[in-house]
Amino acid sequence: MDNKRRATLEIEKEEFKKIGHQLIDKIADYIDHIDNHLITTNKSNLEIKSLLGQGRLPDTGLPVIDIVEKATELLFDNSLLNGHPKFMGYITSSAAPIGMLAELLVGAVNPNVGAQLISPMATEIEKQTIQWLAEFIGLSKDYGGILVSGGNMANFTAFLAARTAKGPSIIKSDGLLAFPKQMMIYCSKNTHTWVDKAAILFGHGANSIRWIPTDNSNKIDLDLLEQAINTDIRAGHQPFIIVASGGDVSTGTVDDLKALGKMSKKYDLWFHIDGAYGIPAAVIPELKPIFDGIEEADSLALDPHKWLYSPLEAGCTLVKNSKHLTDTYSSHPEYYNFKKEGDELTQNYYEYGLQNSRGFRALKIWMALQQVGRKGYEKLIGDDIALSKLLYQMADQHSSLEAISQNLSITNFRFIPVDGHQYEDDYLNTINETLLNELQAGGEVFLSHALVFGKYCLRSCIVNFRTTEKDISEIIDIIVREGSKIHEALSVK
């Protein structure tokens, strides 16, 4: 008799293989047929809830095969398919299949990438991934960083490093209240809501944010920014960080990074770039000029789970000098003895961010970067941008559509009824809002919305390696067809 414990949680080898193979077969079919399905279920939340059933937590176990089959069916039939070629809502990408395999492997090895001692190879892979990501967007490979759950966390991680670097040390020992000056944050009015969360949660308060208006190219207005900084200094406040958009969520606009970098230096402020969505576009040589100045950044946020196609979750904070992360996040309790004697190379990621135990997010990014390489990503991202431009052109040329903006892979446009009437923005906003909801519910195409210069727009963000030119022209037809129906319905009322 062998000495195995045979715990109920164990799955016997042959059964594991059988169930695993079946699951892989189903996933392969699901991916292969993803465009045959509606993008999202038209069932209500209540229907979904009742499909799941109100079963109680079982006292004793069920067969693994049944559990896996049921979960597969529930999820495949009742999820929003962001891998569908006509999904272009929000900024959620199609997941790279190699990332799915990576996740399985990660679960098998289960390294805890909080400390190198307990994740020797995984830590090295994360270090290499960080280096590659820095090089990918044109920075020196000496940048440090850490992988986190997403853009919000990547920005938070940098925000706190900025505060440590630019604030007085009394904050670390006695807290913000011990510092009499209000520490001020500057960003354009288009900046993602993470700034709000950060200011509130980290004790600065929402009023510490100066939301600077944008100029007519939708970039942060540099004169107004400088005025705001000076006004705050005169009022006795302490400015500490400028946050630039490296592709804002509504329109994809990239701020003037070079000028912001300069201004940060002039006033001794931390310069952070939120490139969660847009910064991977810096891999494309022709787009380099848009990102001119990224090398000025003290920190950047980038989301591999957006334009690098990692399955959720994967965000990344990059910093020019890793010391700013360890200054902020490292503390050495007695019971942590994670440094191998004499091993200077040890890197313990718990000292670089908020988490202690950490999952192995790097693998899926590292694998995809190797699968397609820099050139592959250049093409993937470039094709998304070309499709977005095509959508803009087709909207521009269509009499029932108005093209509003196009940057990176985000296009904003709206439906306009053509019946000889001149419609006010109020009505156009109503019709487009109704249209968006109809389109989302219909499941043929999935867009989101943006308010651009007061206009309610249909917003498409293509971070989708399955979308084709044919999809774009079909999307145009669907939108015009549905828009006309809604306009008719609204007109007879």
Ligand X SMILES: *Cc1c(COP(=O)(O)O)cnc(C)c1O
Residues that bind ligand X (CB under 6 A): 91, 150-152, 192, 194, 249, 274, 276-277, 303, 315
> CB 127 → ligand X: shortest distance, Å?
22
Q: CB burial class (10 A; 0-12, 13-18, 19+) of residue 38? A: middle
Q: Which residue has the tokens 């709000």?
A: 196
In the bound state with ligand X, the residue whose beta carbon lies nearer, of 278 and 417, is 278
- Residue 339: CB minimum distance to ligand X, A: 32
Closest approach of Cβ 192 to ligand X, in Å? 3
- Chain centre to alpha carbon of residue 390: 24
Asked if residues 301 and 158 have their Cβ atoms less than 8 Å apart, the reply is yes
Three-class SS state of 221: coil
Question: What is the nearest approach in angstroms of ligand X to the Cβ of residue 425?
Answer: 27
> What residue ranges in 380-447 does DSSP mark as E strands?
401-407, 410-415
CA dihedral (136, 140, 143, 148) in degrees, to 10, reads: -10
Q: How far is the CB of 69 from ligand X (least distance, A)?
A: 31
Nearer to ligand X (CB atom), residue 68 or residue 354: 354
Look-up of token digits 């990074």: 257
Residue of minimal Cβ distance to ligand X: 151
Q: Given CA atoms 160, 165, 166, 167 in this order, what sign does their dihedral have?
A: positive
Q: Would you state the structure tokens that stand for residue 139, as one six-digit string?
A: 């920075």
The smaller minimum CB distance to ligand X, of residues 315 and 359, is found at 315
Looking at the Cβ atoms of 276 and 297, the one nearer to ligand X is 276
Give the integer Cα–Cα distance in Å for 239 and 472: 45
The residue (of 192 and 204) whose beta carbon lies closer to ligand X is 192
Closest to ligand X by CB, 305 or 398: 305
Q: Closest distance between ligand X and the C-beta of residue 248, in Å?
A: 6
CB burial readout 109-124, b (16+ within 10 A) else e: eebbbbbbbebeebbe
HEC profile for 255-297? CCHHHHHHHHHHCCCEEEEECCCCHHHHHCHHHHHHHCCHHHC
Residue 119 or residue 152: which is nearer to ligand X going by CB? 152
Q: Between residues 310 and 434, which has the closer beta carbon with respect to ligand X?
A: 310
Whose CA is closest to 429, among 451, 460, 445, 412? Answer: 451
- Quote the CA–CA distance of 116 and 125 in Å, as a whole number: 11
Q: Please identify, using beta-carbon distances, which residue of 276 and 385 lies nearer to ligand X.
A: 276
Six token digits for residue 126:
């994360």
Nearest CB to ligand X, comparing residues 176 and 354: 354
User: Shortest gap between Cβ of 137 and ligand X (angstroms)?
Assistant: 14
**Minimum Å distance from CB 274 to ligand X?**
5
Q: In the 8-state DSSP scheme, what is residue 351?
A: G
Cα–Cα dist 205/195, whole Å: 10
Which residues have CB under 8 Å from 423's CB, separation 6+?
416, 417, 431
Specify the long-range contacts of residues 6-10, CB closer than 8 Å, at least 24 apart: 8/61
Q: How far is the CB of 194 from ligand X (least distance, A)?
A: 5
Give me the residue label for tokens 């962001």: 82
Q: How far is the CB of 461 from ligand X (least distance, A)?
A: 9
Looking at beta carbons only, is 115 or 257 nearer to ligand X? 257
Q: Given the complex with ligand X, which of 192 and 487 has the nearer CB atom? A: 192
**In the complex, least distance from residue 193 CB atom to ligand X, rounded to whole angstroms:** 8
**Which amino acid would we find at residue 175?**
G
Minimum gap (Å) between residue 479 Cβ and ligand X:
24
How crowded is residue 339: how many other Cβ atoms within 10 Å of its Cβ? Answer: 14
> Helix (H, G, I), strand (E, B), or coil: what is residue 317?
strand
236 DSSP β-pair partners: none
Helices 194-201 and 151-166 pack at an angle, to 10 degrees, of 50
